[in-house]
A and B are shown apart, each in its own frame.
Chain A
């Protein structure tokens, strides 16, 4: 295959490399000097500075509560059905407070498989699950801990103080109460 012809024939100085290379080097050196003097970078010094996340940023999931403290989710199974990654596992049961209603006995999301598409949020008829936490540090030392339980997701925002315009900082050592316990929350 023939190489495409360049639109423009190179002048003698251009084709002899040297002048053009020197021009390029002058450009890069101007950056070095500017940065050496000003130290003014766009880089976000991550653990110390956090990028403000947009309002639509899809972070870790949380489960919402009703005003009376019970969980909003009615275990309708819409979200596990729509989830393209098949990562939501819900065990439904009878609500002890109101036997007419279903509720999730356990609600696990395997964050290792989640693709953060947000379909679960859109599918939910009860506005029971949201991804508005802006938490992006979703990590753990083993696979089990990457499965977020109902207790964890209900309490996710407790004790986290969002600074204006910044993302939440999840410090696992200060994890919300009930992070490891099985079901400390009232259903």
Chain B
């Protein structure tokens, strides 16, 4: 393969990975939102939609029936509800197959492109977020722009166009008001967001996100002790204040409660997406969640070390790949799976006592236990040692000695970013179901009268501190 095609494939792979990263977390978040809301409000939440599995002995007959074009009728042996995760699948099917209504009174062209803009912008923003340092010399980032942070700020301001166009082209009072509110709100909070980010690039000396993460992978020097790979921006006083300001502005930018006035259903029906249905609505819906993911990813990158694994920098991971694999394989992963199985089994409880003995839903806990036992057996038989041997063999075969270490590092880095993103998104969901929506004047007051001055003062203090430290200690 020529140089060009290798590069081309690498670019494609990076793009696909970053889009897949965001789009795969979206359904998980929708589930998390519904389940989290339910648990906060003392409800069981989604737990009905099942996948009915036939008896394995019955499969040949069913295959025959499918071949012969007969209807697929079987008595399920186990009915999996997976704590409501199946609802997300049914939601997608529902949204994709619903009637797509285009009202007569809309401004067609802008109305059609508005949801596309909203979705595209939120996916594009992820392009500058690094999800790992390097794999065999390939940067794990779609594009390592020198002005990475500026790109993020620019795209978030573009994001308002999706909502504004939707609100205006819907030719409807409620939508227009929603669009207006959204643009006013985004313009106001962009200022404190940008000023909060200024603190980060004062500290890192660069606006490139990969440089910012590298800075945070340095050891945190406390004077008497240096903690490795924990030089997180949020652990310094000015950085922490900047993080708070950035995070609150991120809520406003993603239109999440307590700042979700653009869609305030109590007064605006549905706000800017009132007129949308079917998949166009789904695009707005997914864009909201994609925005949450991107906002969490950017916050994690700026303030919490991005892809950096706490206490382990890239070189340490590569040097101790075997130990880390063993710890993960025999400690962390089994512990997590066991926890998940227990949670999934508990989730079936509220129903249990009322179901008839032959009800397939009764078998769900047994299924999870069986799956867990099977996984444990496979782990004991082949498991981590096999994986490590395989990795070593692969490295020798491809004569790339650093392949094993790089792969482990890449997996750890991506999971670390993923974990930080999920924590961020959970905090957004958690706040949404805790804090009531603000009134419009309160929102503007908070943005202009409190956050903007605090952010400004913070920038000056941080700059002063950095210069002072430079003068004193360097």
Does B430 count as interface, using CB distance less than 8 angstroms?
Answer: yes
Q: Are A43 and B44 in contact (CB under 8 A)?
A: yes
Q: Are B42 and A42 in contact (CB under 8 A)?
A: yes
Main secondary structure of the interface of B (DSSP, over half): helix
Does B433 count as interface, using CB distance less than 8 angstroms?
Answer: yes
Does A40 count as interface, using CB distance less than 8 angstroms?
Answer: yes
Q: Are B43 and A41 in contact (CB under 8 A)?
A: yes
Q: Are B39 and A35 in contact (CB under 8 A)?
A: yes
Minimum CB–CB distance from A39 to chain B (whole Å) comes to 4
Does B474 count as interface, using CB distance less than 8 angstroms?
Answer: no
Q: Are B431 and A21 in contact (CB under 8 A)?
A: yes
Contact of A39 among B349, B355, B433, B435 (CB under 8 A): B349
Does A31 count as interface, using CB distance less than 8 angstroms?
Answer: yes
Does B68 count as interface, using CB distance less than 8 angstroms?
Answer: no
Closest-by-CB residue of B relative to A26 is: B434
Q: Are B350 and A43 in contact (CB under 8 A)?
A: yes
Does A48 count as interface, using CB distance less than 8 angstroms?
Answer: yes
Does A24 count as interface, using CB distance less than 8 angstroms?
Answer: yes
Given A21-B431, A25-B431, A28-B433, residue A39 in contact with residue B346 (CB < 8 A): yes
0 or 1 for each of B27-60: is its CB under 8 Å from A? (1 = yes): 0000000001001111110000000000000000
CA of A24 to CA of B346, assembled, Å? 27
CA of A45 to CA of B355, assembled, Å? 11
CA of A69 to CA of B367, assembled, Å? 54
CA of A37 to CA of B350, assembled, Å? 12
Q: Are B40 and A39 in contact (CB under 8 A)?
A: no
Does B109 count as interface, using CB distance less than 8 angstroms?
Answer: no
Does A19 count as interface, using CB distance less than 8 angstroms?
Answer: no
Contact of B42 among A29, A35, A48 (CB under 8 A): A35
* Chain A positions within 8 Å of B349 at CB level: 39
Contact of A49 among B39, B41, B354, B435 (CB under 8 A): B354
CA of A31 to CA of B351, assembled, Å? 20
Main secondary structure of the interface of A (DSSP, over half): helix
CA of A39 to CA of B345, assembled, Å? 11
* Chain B positions within 8 Å of A31 at CB level: 39-42
CA of A179 to CA of B360, assembled, Å? 32
Contact of B435 among A21, A32, A42, A43 (CB under 8 A): A21
CA of A18 to CA of B450, assembled, Å? 13
Minimum CB–CB distance from A4 to chain B (whole Å) comes to 14
Does A36 count as interface, using CB distance less than 8 angstroms?
Answer: yes
Closest-by-CB residue of A relative to B43 is: A43
Does B347 count as interface, using CB distance less than 8 angstroms?
Answer: yes
CA of A73 to CA of B349, assembled, Å? 49
0 or 1 for each of A26-64: is its CB under 8 Å from B? (1 = yes): 011101100111011111010011000000000000000
B residues contacting A by CB (< 8 A) are: 36, 39-44, 244, 343, 346-347, 349-351, 354-355, 430-431, 433-435
A residues contacting B by CB (< 8 A) are: 18, 21, 24-25, 27-29, 31-32, 35-37, 39-43, 45, 48-49
Known contacts A31-B39, A35-B42, A45-B351; 13 additional CB pairs below 8 A are: A18-B244, A27-B434, A28-B433, A31-B41, A31-B42, A32-B430, A41-B43, A43-B43, A43-B44, A45-B350, A48-B351, A48-B354, A49-B354
